[in-house]
């Protein structure tokens, strides 16, 4: 069985070395002891979610909410040269968390929630803050489940106007659209920089939004012969680009 992953503060791993003991406590410690019921000698992976991680075994259990891990290996995972950024239009219901979960599993680096003009769901006030917190918690838990040392960044939600500078500053920017004349699988990709993909809502991207994106350098690409739901298009398109960047080699 693959060792479970737990998150610890960066400073605990940054000063550690093979053979050192690292304390796992707080919410993660309670989960390890009370839910996972880890015992001395069992394998564990620790990470700060920012690229630093360590593998080791449980050396001691303290009560119901803490344990010590004896590190056998410490590893720093560098940031990718080509960073995959998915701009995700706000889906209905729990499909937003589904999109974040699957994109995290496939390897997306940044998720930007987008309030498109045709989105039925709108994030406003306390409701928006709670929804964003759910997306971020989903990315964290999916990152642990996928054994990632570097979790995706879930940014604050943006409007179309706020999104334009992101597209203009990208090394590659594309909009998934069923009427795109170019295939995403054949797009020319740069070796480094942000690769930004825009995923529209179930109601589609408006002509005004498409025009604004084109003005910022983001042109429409088709993903394939079928039309995917907004909650699955990002992961499918992300897989296409990740395979082509060599990160899956």
Q: List, for residues 83-100, the tens digit of each pLDDT value.
A: 999 999 999 888 999 999
What are 194's strand-pairing partners? 83
- Per-residue confidence (pLDDT) for residue 33, from 0 to 100: 95
Rounded to a whole number of angstroms, the distance between the first and last alpha carbons of the chain is 24
What are the tens digits of pLDDT across the range 2-15?
899 999 999 998 88
Residue 69 token pair = 């891990």
Residue 155 token pair = 């940014």
Q: Is the pLDDT of residue 101 over 70?
A: yes
* CATH 3.40.1280.10 matches 82-245: yes
- Per-residue confidence (pLDDT) for residue 214, from 0 to 100: 96
Q: If you average pLDDT over residues 211-216, what whole number do you get? A: 97
- CATH superfamily, with its number, for domain 5-76: Hypothetical PUA domain-like; domain 1 (2.40.240.20)
What are the tens digits of pLDDT across the range 223-242?
988 888 999 999 999 999 99
Mean of pLDDT over the chain: 93
Which residue reads 């971020």 in tokens?
Answer: 136
Sort 164 into a burial class: Cβ within 10 Å, 0-12 / 13-18 / 19+: middle
Distance CA 183, CA 181 (A): 7
Q: Where in the chain are the domains? A: 5-76, 82-245
Q: Is the pLDDT of residue 201 over 90?
A: yes
Q: Is the pLDDT of residue 58 over 70?
A: yes
Sort 224 into a burial class: Cβ within 10 Å, 0-12 / 13-18 / 19+: middle
- Per-residue confidence (pLDDT) for residue 15, from 0 to 100: 80
Q: Is the pLDDT of residue 247 over 80?
A: yes
Order of strands across the sheet with 172-176?
153-154, 110-114, 82-89, 193-199, 172-176, 219-222, 182-183
- Per-residue confidence (pLDDT) for residue 121, from 0 to 100: 85
pLDDT category of residue 179 using cuts at 50, 70 and 90 = confident
Residue pair 57/43 in contact by the 8 Å Cβ criterion: yes
Q: If you average pLDDT over residues 199-221, what whole number do you get? A: 95
- Per-residue confidence (pLDDT) for residue 186, from 0 to 100: 93
Q: Is the pLDDT of residue 1 over 70?
A: no
Instruction: Please name the residues in contact with 172: beta carbons below 8 A apart, sequence gap of 6 or more.
Output: 187, 189, 190, 193, 194, 195, 196
**E strand or H helix that includes residue 222:** strand 219-222
Q: If you average pLDDT over residues 29-38, what whole number do you get? A: 95
What are the tens digits of pLDDT across the range 128-169?
999 999 999 999 999 999 999 999 999 999 999 999 999 999
- Per-residue confidence (pLDDT) for residue 181, from 0 to 100: 82
């Amino acid at each position: 069985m693959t060792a479970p992953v737990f998150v610890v503060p960066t400073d605990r791993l940054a000063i550690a070395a093979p053979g050192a003991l690292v304390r796992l406590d707080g919410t993660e410690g309670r989960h390890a002891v009370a839910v996972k019921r880890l015992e001395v000698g069992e394998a564990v992976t620790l990470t700060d979610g920012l690229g630093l991680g360590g593998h080791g075994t449980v050396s001691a259990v303290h009560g119901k909410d803490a344990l010590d891990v004896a590190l056998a290996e410490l590893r720093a995972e560098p940031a990718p040269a080509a960073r995959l950024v998915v701009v995700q239009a706000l889906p209905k219901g729990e499909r937003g968390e589904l999109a974040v979960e699957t994109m995290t599993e496939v390897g997306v680096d940044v998720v930007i929630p987008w309030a498109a003009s045709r989105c039925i769901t709108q994030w406003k006030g306390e409701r928006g803050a709670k929804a964003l917190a759910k997306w971020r918690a989903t990315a964290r838990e999916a990152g642990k489940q996928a054994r990632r040392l570097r979790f995706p960044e879930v940014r604050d939600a943006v409007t179309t106007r706020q999104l334009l500078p992101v597209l203009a500053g990208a090394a590659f920017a594309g909009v998934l659209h069923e009427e795109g004349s170019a295939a995403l699988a054949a797009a020319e990709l740069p070796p480094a920089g942000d690769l930004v993909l825009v995923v529209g809502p179930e109601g589609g991207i408006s002509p005004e939004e498409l025009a604004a994106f084109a003005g910022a350098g983001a042109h429409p690409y088709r993903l394939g012969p079928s039309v995917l739901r907004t909650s699955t298009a990002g992961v499918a398109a992300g897989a296409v680009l990740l395979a082509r960047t060599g990160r899956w080699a």
